[in-house]
Structure 1
Amino acid sequence: MPASSSANKSYLVPTLLIGTLFFVFGFITWVNSTLIPYLQAACELTPSQAILVTFSSYIAYAVMAFPSSWVLKFTGFKKGMILGLLIMALGALIFIPAAHTRTFGVFLTGLFVIGIGLALLQTASNPYITILGPIESAAKRISVMGICNKGAGALAPLIMGTILLKGMDAFAPAKLAALAPDAKNQLLDQLASRIVAPYVIIAIAFVIVAIAIYFSSLPDIKNEDETNPSHATKDRTSIFSYPYLWLGFVTLFLYVGVEVIAGDAIQLYGHSGLGIPLEITKHFTTYTMLAMLGGYLLGIVLIPKFISQSTALKVAAILGIILSIGVIYSPGIYSIWCLALLGFANAPMWPAIWPLSIDGLGKFLKTGSALLIVGIAGGAIVPWLWTKLSASESVGMQHAFWLLVPCYAFILFFATIGNKIGKTVGE
């Protein structure tokens, strides 16, 4: 009992600190759902252009993930987290000149820089919480982090939507078209200026969290071998010796893609696809995040005591397929509800995919984690493909959601078979 109590105590402070980080990048990630309609109005964008908000944020993971693993080899996890937060603060400050010039490309640059910091932060924090205790209960720990992340995700559109999307009827394209060019530009400049103060506050918050981590007693874990000796890599010579890791990478890529569609594209679909006013659609992402919170809470209760990580992933993938079909064929607001409920189906996926993919990587932990972080780029590619399908007159926005079905089908494959392929040495 004393030993167990001591172990729990030693995990408590690191878990709280990592939970804070998950809250931080949950807020800054899911605020994109509000930035999409906001920048669409402020910069006069088409839906296909507006979705580049998510593209710029998530493509940074593909660019930076492996460099992040190299950085972490020199800095360790703790200093890597600090560096990631400082880079994110820099990206947030880029929003100041972006707002003053009302240049969409500068906004995208800021989002990309924030994404670079997030890639470094996620490369450090995700394996950290996974190996900070028994691998069998990793899904439960990640579910707790998910609550921090999606709790922030639920708050982000409520807070930022109130600030950025207030009175958006005045910025409707029809009303702007009736104004003289100078009057229209002055009105749009006022709209763009709304974003400056929130992102200055966000940048300051990043710096404060970085300072807190610097002065914390957060232990610096080097490799999984140091904490889980039973997970030694034996005679494997590279990450190419782990087929299940690569299948996990594809699974994570597809999962993040469908998660971003359910969380970020839901506002775009509600407004541009179904004609629902922005005053109503600005809350849709919060509904998705609340559904995810419910899924995470259920996962904490059930995993691994009642069901395994892989079983939870199977059930979630099947539910994802069913709800996707509901999105495609349900009318109006019922389609939105099915899309929001995908948050519930998606909730167990990251907590299950991550530990199933990195279990047993040993000295290849950082490289394997970096590969999985590259998979987050699915949040850039899959929603972009959805907008391309949506733009087709023969498909349309609602039927473009057929894209979700094969994504969930592959996740189901990984849950049933893929996560076992090559897991035992010699297979």
Structure 2
Amino acid sequence: MKKNNQKTLFSAPDGKSYLVPFILITSLFLLWGFAHGLLDVLNKHFQGVFTMTKAESGLVQFSTYIAYFLMALPAGMFMKRFGYKKGIILGLCLFAVGAFAFIPAAYLHSASPFLIALFVIACGLCILETAANPYSTILGPEESGAQRLNLSQSFNGLGWILGPLVGGMLIFGGAEDDPFTLTKPYILVGSVVLLVAILFFFTKLPEVQEETDKEEKMIAPVSGTASMWRHPQFIRAIIAQFCYCAAQTGIFSFFINYVTEVDTSMTNIEASRILAFGGMALFMIGRLSGSFTMRWMSPARLLTWFALADAVCMALVVVSVGTVSLYALYLSFFFMSIMFPTIFALGLEGMGSYTKKASSYIVMGVAGGAFAPMLMGYIGADNMAVGFVIPLLSFLYILYFALRCKRE
């Protein structure tokens, strides 16, 4: 039975298996999950080491996620011209350069060099995500694309667990006013990324052709003189991805702030462990279970229920009713889990030869994460709970997007 399922998920048009390429691509999801998980520790640490307000510490996320907006289209054009493999290697190299740039940044005793290094890392991550997300969806039959992407993204969830766990130990475990503590996790991840880049360089990956006859028929209504912008589900997916990344980044960024404000007895390092083993663990479990749930429930229907549940969770967080709100915040991680890959896959449905270009625009939606933390920090300067109205509104739009996908 397992063997048949494996063939269904990873079978190539010629009958060969895409399982090995899928495993290699999935390793990338782990790496960038780790990098993003570190940001949530940096946000709180920057408030102390560089004496930043909550809104100012949002520059950590801004410098990262604005890179997605600026690099998504160039990344897509690079991929279209040179293919997925070269795009992945370029992304890994930029990732490593940005990580090692933390070393000279520490000698300058200022936030700006660290923010520039984060921007370089994010440029690499943007290229990796532009390549790996669509590549994962097409390494097998189209109808199981969302399931395959959710499976890959499960390992992204593991990276999100390791990021705050390792970052919390290495960063919060050092002197609070010592910028050199910031370099430790980035030296570690930079070294691993270089090894992975070398592995990809010497590994042969299939360059999957997306313009099959079947796909050409699917895009007939939007081909010719018309463009992909005549595809309404794709346009709504860009907005939904913007909203999701705004919600996710805001929740992750101010998790430690919210928890330590509600429970004043909790330290930053304790909150970072709860973020890793509580929130991020639920996030990973949600992606794994979501991938298998999609075997019998459509991605759009599952997204509908999860978006509704997250909207309820955020409403409880905003009203701030003690322990109930804390558990609602933890639970929101589980329901967020499937959103990015599911919105991504639904947005690419029927795009055919537009897939690479369309994926670039959907990745641009990640820019939502650049603005939400600063806005939430400003709104929640005196009471962090109020700032969570931004994720609440975001989940309500995702609910609308999911309902429209079910209808069409």
Instruction: Output the TM-score relative to the length of structure 1.
Output: 0.87
Write out per-residue CA displacement over residues 362-397 of structure 1, whole angstroms, 9 at most, x where no aligned residue. 221111101000001111122222112113x5xx32
Write out per-residue CA displacement over residues 335-360 of structure 1, whole angstroms, 9 at most, x where no aligned residue. 23211211111112123211111111
In the alignment, does 2:69 pair up with 1:62? yes
In the alignment, does 2:244 pair up with 1:240? no
CA apart distance, 1:413: 1.0
Distance 1:307 1:418, change over 3 A: closer
Paired residues for 1:164-175 under 5 Å:
164-166=171-173, 171=176
CA apart distance, 1:32: 0.5
In the alignment, does 2:259 pair up with 1:270? yes
Letter in 2 for 1:335: S
Write out per-residue CA displacement over residues 289-320 of structure 1, whole angstroms, 9 at most, x where no aligned residue. 111112112212210x2210010010011101
Instruction: Output the TM-score relative to the length of structure 2.
Output: 0.91
- The SS at the match of 1:417 is helix
Q: Which residue of 1 aligns with 2:188?
A: 201
In the alignment, does 2:122 pair up with 1:115? yes
Structure 1 residue aligned with 2:244, among 237, 255, 259? 255
Out of 234-243 and 406-415, give the one that drifted further.
234-243
Q: Which residue of 2 aligns with 1:309?
A: 299
- Partners of 1:227 and 1:81 in 2: how far apart? 27
Letter in 2 for 1:23: L
Letter in 2 for 1:253: F
Distance 1:241 1:225, change over 3 A: farther
CA apart distance, 1:418: 5.0
In the alignment, does 2:202 pair up with 1:211? no
Structure 2 residue aligned with 1:7, among 7, 11, 16? 11
- Partners of 2:397 and 2:285 in 1: how far apart? 24
Measured on the aligned residues, the alpha-carbon RMSD in Å equals 2.3
Paired residues for 1:25-424 under 5 Å:
25-166=32-173, 171=176, 188=177, 191-225=178-212, 228=215, 230-233=217-220, 235-236=222-223, 237-271=226-260, 275=264, 276-286=266-276, 287-303=278-294, 305-391=295-381, 396-418=383-405
- Partners of 2:153 and 2:88 in 1: how far apart? 18
1:248–1:419 CA contact under 8 A, matched in 2? no
Out of 375-384 and 2-11, give the one that drifted further.
2-11
Write out per-residue CA displacement over residues 171-221 of structure 1, whole angstroms, 9 at most, x where no aligned residue. 4xxxxxxxxxxxxxxxx3xx2112323322222211111111111121122
Distance 1:232 1:225, change over 3 A: farther
Out of 321-330 and 74-83, give the one that drifted further.
321-330
Letter in 2 for 1:244: Q
Distance 1:21 1:53, change over 3 A: same
Out of 74-83 and 400-409, give the one that drifted further.
400-409
- Partners of 1:239 and 1:76 in 2: how far apart? 21
Write out per-residue CA displacement over residues 92-149 of structure 1, whole angstroms, 9 at most, x where no aligned residue. 1111121111210110000111111111111111010111122322222112112100
- The SS at the match of 2:326 is helix
1:144–1:300 CA contact under 8 A, matched in 2? yes
2:251–2:391 CA contact under 8 A, matched in 1? no
Out of 149-158 and 380-389, give the one that drifted further.
380-389
- Partners of 2:124 and 2:380 in 1: how far apart? 31
- The SS at the match of 1:115 is helix
CA apart distance, 1:63: 0.8
Distance 1:333 1:4, change over 3 A: closer
- Partners of 1:420 and 1:223 in 2: how far apart? 26
- Partners of 1:134 and 1:7 in 2: how far apart? 7
Write out per-residue CA displacement over residues 153-177 of structure 1, whole angstroms, 9 at most, x where no aligned residue. 1111111211110166xx4xxxxxx
CA apart distance, 1:277: 2.0
Distance 1:194 1:167, change over 3 A: closer
1:356–1:419 CA contact under 8 A, matched in 2? no
Runs of 5+ consecutive residues of structure 1 not aligned to the other structure = 172-187, 422-427
1:225–1:232 CA contact under 8 A, matched in 2? no
2:55–2:373 CA contact under 8 A, matched in 1? no
- Partners of 1:272 and 1:53 in 2: how far apart? 21
Letter in 2 for 1:7: S
2:64–2:122 CA contact under 8 A, matched in 1? yes
Aligned-pair identity in percent equals 31
Letter in 1 for 2:250: I
Letter in 1 for 2:103: I
- The SS at the match of 2:173 is coil
1:252–1:376 CA contact under 8 A, matched in 2? yes
Write out per-residue CA displacement over residues 34-57 of structure 1, whole angstroms, 9 at most, x where no aligned residue. 111222222222211112111111
Runs of 5+ consecutive residues of structure 2 not aligned to the other structure = none
Distance 1:384 1:245, change over 3 A: same
